[in-house]
Amino acid sequence: MHDTLQKPESMPKQAQDTPSPAGENQAQDHVQKPRFAFAKGDGIGPEIMDATLRILDAAGVNWPMEEIRIGEDVYKSGETAGIAAESWEVLRRNGVFLKAPITTPQGGGYKSLNVTIRKTMGLYANVRPVQAFSPFVPTHFPAMDLVVVRENEEDLYAGIEHQQTAEVVQCLKLITRPGCERIVRYAFEYARANGRRKVTCMSKDNIMKLTDGLFHRVFDEIAPEYPDIQAEHRIIDIGAAMLADRPEDFDVVVTANLYGDIVSDITAQVAGSVGLGGSANIGRSFSMFEAIHGSAPDITGKDIANPSGLIHGACMMLDHRGAGAVSATIQNALRRTLEDGIHTADIADGQHTRQQVGTRAFTQAVIDRLGEKPRTLPVLSVREKPAIQVPDWTPKPQAKTLVGMDVFLDWTAKDGTRNPEELGKLLESACGETLKLKMITNRGVKVYPSGLPETFCTDHWRCRFVANASVLAENRNGMDVSRTVGFAELLNLQQRLDAQSLEVIKTENLYEINGQRAYSLGQGE
Left (φ > 0), alpha (ψ -120 to 50) or beta: where does 305 sit?
A: beta
Q: What is the CATH number of the domain that holds 379?
A: 3.40.718.10
- pTM, two decimals, is 0.89
Instruction: Say yes or no: 311 and 209 in one domain.
Output: no
Q: How many domains does the structure of the chain reveal?
A: 3
Amino acid at 316: M
CA–CA gap between residue 13 and residue 29 (Å, rounded)? 24
Left (φ > 0), alpha (ψ -120 to 50) or beta: where does 25 sit?
A: left
Instruction: Say yes or no: 146 and 178 in one domain.
Output: yes
Q: What is the CATH number of the domain that holds 490?
A: 3.30.70.1570
Residue 478 within a domain: yes
CA–CA gap between residue 346 and residue 365 (Å, rounded)? 17
* pLDDT above 80 for 121: yes
Residue 390 within a domain: no
pLDDT for the residue 3: 41
400-425, pLDDT tens digit by residue?
A: 999 999 999 999 999 999 999 999 99
CA–CA gap between residue 262 and residue 258 (Å, rounded)? 6
pLDDT for the residue 27: 39
Instruction: Say yes or no: 315 and 461 in one domain.
Output: no
Closest CA to 142 of 251, 270, 274: 270
Residue 523 within a domain: no
Instruction: Say yes or no: 129 and 166 in one domain.
Output: no
Domain extent, residue 101, equals: 1-10+21-136+272-385
Instruction: Among 105-114, 223-232, 243-252, name the one with the lowest average pLDDT.
Output: 105-114
pLDDT for the residue 96: 97
Of 247, 270, 293, the residue that ends a domain is: 270
Instruction: Say yes or no: 294 and 248 in one domain.
Output: no
Q: Which long-range contacts does 358-364 make (Cβ < 8 Å, 24+ apart)?
A: 358/302, 358/303, 358/304, 359/44, 359/47, 359/48, 359/51, 359/303, 359/304, 359/305, 359/306, 359/307, 360/51, 360/303, 362/51, 362/306, 362/307, 362/337, 363/51, 363/54, 363/55, 363/307
pLDDT for the residue 25: 44
Instruction: Say yes or no: 158 and 262 in one domain.
Output: yes
* pLDDT above 80 for 78: yes
Instruction: Say yes or no: 282 and 299 in one domain.
Output: yes
Residue 394 within a domain: no
Instruction: Say yes or no: 415 and 500 in one domain.
Output: yes
* pLDDT above 90 for 514: yes
Summarize the confidence of residues 470-495 as an average pLDDT.
73
Q: Which long-range contacts does 478-484 make (Cβ < 8 Å, 24+ apart)?
A: 483/401, 483/403, 483/512, 484/401, 484/402, 484/403
Instruction: Say yes or no: 1 and 112 in one domain.
Output: yes
Residue 213 within a domain: yes
Instruction: Say yes or no: 76 and 183 in one domain.
Output: no
pLDDT band for position 428 (cuts 50, 70, 90): very high
Burial 203-222 (b: 16+ CB within 10 A, else e): bbbeebeebbbbbbebbeeb
Residue 167 within a domain: yes
Of 252, 270, 288, the residue that ends a domain is: 270
Residue 297 within a domain: yes
451-462, pLDDT tens digit by residue?
A: 999 999 999 999
Instruction: Say yes or no: 31 and 180 in one domain.
Output: no
Residue 393 within a domain: no
Instruction: Say yes or no: 228 and 100 in one domain.
Output: no
Of 385, 410, 442, the residue that ends a domain is: 385
pLDDT for the residue 275: 84
